[in-house]
Amino acid sequence: MRIDILSAVPGLLEGPFSDSIVKRAKEKGLVEIVVHNIRDWSTDKHKKIDDEPFGGSAGMVLTIQPIADAIAALKSERTYAEVIFLTPDGEQLKQGAVNHLSMQGNLILLCGHYKGIDQRIREHLVTREFSIGDYVLSGGELAAAVLTDAIVRLIPGVIGDEQSALTDSFQDNLLAPPVYTRPAEYNGWKVPEILRSGDHKAINEWLEEQAVERTQDLRPDLFEKDS
Ligand code: 6GU
């Protein structure tokens, strides 16, 4: 799988993919992540990529040409399953959509900036739009990093223990149960006895109960949703 990220501020994306699970996935050849500077495609003599909005509201708008040419150049090299625009007015990102995207082909992620991008890019070139929550970020880069991380960890072979991604919070609309490690007692704080019983059937029942209880307490809304 290849993920191409188009950004006006590519420096923001230097960190998130160079450590931990995403780094390992790249090293294993399971994913290729390429960050592009939209400016590289600008045909303007000053490499301009934005302009004032028609109608005269505040802020600058990313122009069509560099973005359209960047997408065309990428599409001439390989096929893409989706062109995704990260925007606060997009569909709220949920695990269900992430699962789906992790099984598609290559992806283009387009990061907005300034006041936004020319609406015609969204109408004619973008196939899906996601927001990562009801708050405003300075640009789509951090959201693109969130989406990329969430997708990459689901690619088969990326996480060593195959079970691990399936037991994440949200995978069955339940929050994950609590986890503990050694020591069994610290400062008088004890690990629940059941986890040390060796009775795997009882342990699994307890974990399931904990997941349901935690979800009921912390995120009861998850019981009413199917993605
Ligand atoms: Cl995808 N972009 C921006 N700029 N802000 C956001 C967002 C995306 N998701 C939540 N806030």
Interatomic CA distance for residues 158 and 224, integer angstroms: 31
For ligand 1, is residue 135 a contact (CB within 6 Å)?
yes
For ligand 1, is residue 133 a contact (CB within 6 Å)?
yes
Interatomic CA distance for residues 61 and 113, integer angstroms: 8
Tell me which of 3.40.1800.10, 3.40.1280.10, 3.40.50.2000, 3.40.50.10320 is the CATH number of domain 2-152: 3.40.1280.10
Reported as a single tens digit per residue, the pLDDT across 167-217 is 788 878 999 999 999 999 999 999 999 999 999 999 999 999 999 999 999
For ligand 1, is residue 87 a contact (CB within 6 Å)?
yes
Looking at the domain 167-226, which fold is it?
Trp Operon Repressor; Chain A (1.10.1270)
CA of residue 218 relative to chain centroid, distance: 23
Residue 225 predicted with pLDDT over 80:
no
Mutate to test the pocket of ligand 1, among 93, 130, 136 (most ligand atoms within 8 A of CB): 136
Q: Which tokens sit at 190?
A: 């004890």
pLDDT of residue 31: 97
For ligand 1, is residue 116 a contact (CB within 6 Å)?
no
CA of 116 relative to ligand 1 center, distance in Å: 11
Q: Is the peptide bond before 183 cis (omega within 30 degrees of 0)?
A: yes
The label of the residue with tokens 């387009």 reads: 110
Q: Is 34 left (phi over 0), alpha (psi -120 to 50) or beta?
A: beta
Reported as a single tens digit per residue, the pLDDT across 4-52 is 999 999 999 999 999 999 999 999 999 999 999 999 999 999 999 999 9
Beta strands 107-111 and 50-51 are unpaired
Domain boundaries, the chain: 2-152, 167-226
For ligand 1, is residue 84 a contact (CB within 6 Å)?
no
User: Given CA atoms 128, 133, 136, 138 in this order, what sign does their dihedral have?
Assistant: negative
Orientation angle between helical segments 141-152 and 95-102, nearest 10 degrees: 70
Rg (CA), the chain: 22
CA of 119 relative to ligand 1 center, distance in Å: 16
Reported as a single tens digit per residue, the pLDDT across 115-166 is 799 999 999 999 999 999 999 999 999 999 999 999 999 999 999 775 677 7
pLDDT of residue 226: 56
For ligand 1, is residue 192 a contact (CB within 6 Å)?
no
pLDDT of residue 167: 74
Instruction: Give the CA angle between residues 16, 50, 45 to the nearest 5°.
Output: 105
Quickly list DSSP for 48-72: --EEPPTT--SS-EE-HHHHHHHHH
For ligand 1, is residue 136 a contact (CB within 6 Å)?
yes
For ligand 1, is residue 140 a contact (CB within 6 Å)?
yes
Query: What is the rounded average pLDDT of the residues 75-86?
Result: 98
First to last CA, the chain: 24
CA of 48 relative to ligand 1 center, distance in Å: 23
Quickly list DSSP for 22-38: HHHHHHTTS-EEEEEEG
